[in-house]
Amino acid sequence: MFTILFPTDFSQPAAHALEYAVSLTEKIGGKLLLLHAVPVPLQDPNTFFKASEVYSKDEAKAKLDALQRQLATRVPCEAVLKIGHSVTEAVDLMQQSVVDLVVIGTRGAGSTPDPLVGSTTAGLIEKSPRPVLVIPAAAAFVAPQRIVLAADLRETNRTALEPLVAFARLFGSEVLVVNVSTRAGGLPEEKSVVALQLEDYLGDVPSSVHVVVHDDVAEGLENFVLEKRAHLLVLVARKHGFFTSLFHDSVTRKMTLHAQVPLLALVEG
C-alpha cells in the first residue's frame, strides 16, 4: 500500500499540511504514517534525565495518539513517537519502514520567521531517500492539472522522474518542463537533447518544454509558476550538493519557504 510519511510538530502549519496529506492519501488509496520527534533537551550532567523531558514525551504521545484516532476514521493511519532530531528520526524511519512519499508543512511568506521551520524542511529535502512534498501555509488540496518541472537540463535518470509520472497519470496532469536561464538565447545543443530525453521519460503524459530568461533564477521560476497557474512545482534534489545544479542554498531556501504552490522534491537515483 502506498505510504505517506507525515512528520508533525503539532503546529498550525503542520495541521494545514496534514489536511492536504490526508486528502492526498484518500485520493491515492494509501496509508498515512504520522511521526513526531520529541527534541532531546540539554542534559544536566548530574541527572540521568529531566522531569520536563518525561512530561514532554507523555504530552506528545497523548497528542499523537489522539490525532491518530481522529484520522483513522478517514484513512488507514499509524503513529510513531521518537526522541531526537526530527530530520534524523524521519530518515531513520524511512530506512526501517516502507515509505513512498514524505509530506511536510512550512509557514511560507508573510509568516512569523522561524529558522527551525526552514532548516527542518531544507534538511529533510537534502537527506530524504524518498520524494518530499512541501505544503505552503496558503495551499489547499486541489488535483494538480498543471505541473511545472524545473529542469537544469543536466542528465536525469528515468527512476528519479517516476513519482512525477505517477502523479501526472493519477491526476491527468500536464507537465510543463521549464529551464530558467540568466542568459538570452536558445538552448545549447546538449541541453536540447536532455529536454527531448525528459519528454521521452514522461511518456504518455502531456508535456511541453519552455525556456525563461531572468536574472534571478528563483524569481523567474516563481513568475512562470504563477503565470501558468500551476498547482505543483517539481524539482530534482541532486544529492551531490543540495540543489546546486539549480539553486544555491539561499535561493533554494527562498523557494521552499516562499512558494505559493506545493513543491515536490524528487530524489536523484
pTM of this structure:
0.85
Co-location of 119 and 159 in the same domain? no
Q: Which of 76, 101, 136 is the last residue of a domain?
A: 136
> Which three three-digit cell numbers place residue 127?
537527506
Domain that holds residue 234: 146-267
Dihedral of CA 209/222/106/86: which sign? positive
Q: Which of 111, 136, 161 is the last residue of a domain?
A: 136
Backbone angle region of 239, left / alpha / beta, with phi > 0 → left and psi within -120 to 50 → alpha: alpha
> Which three three-digit cell numbers place residue 134?
512541501
pLDDT tens per residue across span 203-250: 999 999 888 888 888 888 889 999 999 999 998 876 554 444 444 444
At 243 the three-state DSSP class reads: coil
Q: Domain with 46 in it: what CATH number?
A: 3.40.50.620
User: Do 249 and 257 touch, CB atoms closer than 8 A?
Assistant: no
Co-location of 114 and 170 in the same domain? no
Q: How many domains does the chain have?
A: 2
pLDDT tens per residue across span 45-88: 544 445 555 558 889 999 999 999 999 999 999 999 999 999 99
